[in-house]
Amino acid sequence: MSGGQWIQQVTLNWLMYEMTNSAVLLGLLNGVRAFPFLISSPIAGVAADRMDRRKLMVITQYFLMVMAFLMGVLVASGRLEVWHLLVVTLITGSAWGFSEPVRLSMVPDLVPRDELTRAIALNSVAFNATKVLGPALGGTLIALFGPAGNFFVQGLAYFGVLLTLYSIQFPATPMEARRSSAFANLKEGLTYVGSTPTVLALLGGDLVLRVFVVPYMALMPIFQKDVFRVGPEGLGMLMAAAGFGAVLGVLTLASVANHLRRKGFVLIWGEILLGIFLVLFSFVTSFPLALILLVGVGYWQIVAMVMANTLIQIIVPDALRGRVIGLYMLDRGLIPAGSLLSGLTAHFLGAPATVGIMGVFVVLLALGLGYGTPLIRKIEA
């Protein structure tokens, strides 16, 4: 599934910028991809606590597979227009917003609690390995065969996910939530988060990353074309560099997971170093040096994200896990604000200045979170 997502992301971004040459529309496209999380994620969180999680995943994968093949046909026919990119992105974003909370809530069902950090890190290895291979493959396929083939590859990737889901036996989903209405379930999840300062702080820390960091990926086509002046395969390399750093980060976490006690402290420092690497990247004009710095960006980004995910999974009770994860995923829906802001800022100030500003915000907000909320620095698990 992740491989298909990364191939689609690099392809849609490339198509949008090639068709419009607009940083604003590029930011809008990535905002449209994330906006549905605001609606579908809370619903998915409730569903994950009330229904069979594997069945929910199977349904969403069938839907995403069909959409990928339809998009491939549309591009191959030569009838693609800008509004097609926005509509397809909105539809698939809604499906992703539903499937991600369900997928994340399934992880603790399969591993013991004391191995949860390692499991989440290793799960991220698979995700970020495709983050390396997907964009690189996507950029190469665009250069060799055009963008239509990428969507057919994505459809095949979803078919592979379906085969995997059918082959794994999952434990039964807890059904305590069925004793109340779906609305009451959602209210219970909101009440729990609002009355648990530690969980609330972790959600706030992840918000920093999603709003002020994730949009930098949407600006890579501008760096590729206007700053480094490389072809579409260069775009794949830029995006893959961050993915490679993320793989290194999760491999590190997987190897030292059982020795990390102050995970909240690691989370804060991961965000600070992420911001520093973003600032450094914003100053470079050398393509090889940019790739090296993006490895650092990906490394510290994944360290912070895995730490936040792990702590939430450990703290939250099993019966509430789906709903809290659904709320945790809401910050993906705030990416439109960051994407639109980054697109507008890049239009007026340029992409390098925009990424530099992002880095500064990340550092300042991480410091504010760490020292304004001492509890998060003292979390041990």
Q: Which domains does the chain have, with CATH numbers?
A: 2-377 (1.20.1250.20)
In this prediction, what percent of the chain has a pLDDT beyond 90? Answer: 8
Cα 377 from Cα 5, distance rounded (Å): 34
pLDDT given for residue 3 in this prediction: 59
- Average pLDDT for 90-99: 82
pLDDT given for residue 134 in this prediction: 65
Cα 290 from Cα 237, distance rounded (Å): 10
Per-residue pLDDT band for 123 (boundaries 50, 70, 90) equals low
Q: Where are the alpha helices (DSSP H) in 82-115?
A: 82-110
Residue in 336, 211, 311 with CA at minimum distance from that of residue 261: 311
- Average pLDDT for 77-83: 85
- Average pLDDT for 341-358: 87
Mean pLDDT value across the chain: 80
Per-residue pLDDT band for 371 (boundaries 50, 70, 90) equals confident
pLDDT > 90? residue 276: yes
What are the tens digits of pLDDT across the range 283-320? Answer: 998 999 999 999 999 899 888 888 888 888 778 877 78
- Average pLDDT for 28-36: 78
Largest CA distance in the chain: 60
Question: Pick the residue with more confidence: 336 or 318?
Answer: 318
pLDDT > 80? residue 139: no
Cα 279 from Cα 140, distance rounded (Å): 28
Burial of 230 (0-12, 13-18, 19+ CB in 10 A): middle
pLDDT given for residue 291 in this prediction: 93
pLDDT given for residue 115 in this prediction: 67
pLDDT given for residue 277 in this prediction: 95
pLDDT > 70? residue 152: yes
Q: Buried (b) or exposed (e) across 86-111, using 16+ Cβ within 10 A?
A: bebbebbbbbbbbbbbbbbbbbbeee
Indicate the DSSP class of residue 177: G
Range among 91-100, 179-188, 221-230, 362-371 rated most confident: 221-230
- The two tokens of residue 226 are 């206007």
pLDDT given for residue 114 in this prediction: 64
Ranges assigned E (strand) in the chain: none
Cα 104 from Cα 10, distance rounded (Å): 24
